[in-house]
A and B are shown apart, each in its own frame.
Chain A
Amino acid sequence: MTLPPERVLVSSYTDRFGREIVLYEDTWYDHILDDHAEMADQLDELELAIAHAERITQDQSFASRQCYYRKGHLPWPYDRDYLKVVVELEDSSFGRPLRGVVVTAYPVEAIPRRETRIW
Chain B
Amino acid sequence: MVMQQERKMLERAVAVVNDHPRDITFSYDRDSDTMMVHFFGTPRPAVSISIDDPDDALYVRLDRAADEVVGLQIEGFLTRFIFRHPDWADPLSTARLRGITREDAVAAAAQARHQRHQVAAVTDLLERLIA
Q: A residues engaging B (CB < 8 A)?
A: 27, 30-31, 34-38, 40, 60-62, 77-78, 81, 84, 86, 103-104, 106-114
Contacts and interface: CB of A to CB of B under 8 A. Distances in A.
B87 to A, nearest CB: 19
B8 to A, nearest CB: 13
Contacts of A86: 32
Contact of A109 (B50, B73, B76): B50
- Find the residue from A36, A61, A103 having the highest chain B CB count within 10 A: A61
A77 B44 CA distance: 13
Contacts of A78: 47, 64
Contact of A107 (B27, B48, B76): B48
Interface stretch (B15-23, B52-60, B100-108, B118-126): B52-60
Contacts of B27: 34-35
Given A60-B57, A61-B57, A77-B64, A109 B31 contact: no
Given A27-B31, A31-B31, A103-B31, A114 B52 contact: yes
Contact of B98 (A31, A40, A110): A31
A81 B50 CA distance: 12
B49 interface: yes
B45 A37 contact: yes
B34 A113 contact: no
A16 B73 CA distance: 28
A104 B34 contact: yes
B34 A35 contact: yes
A61 B76 contact: yes
A114 B57 CA distance: 9
5 contacts: A34-B27, A37-B43, A78-B47, A106-B73, A109-B50
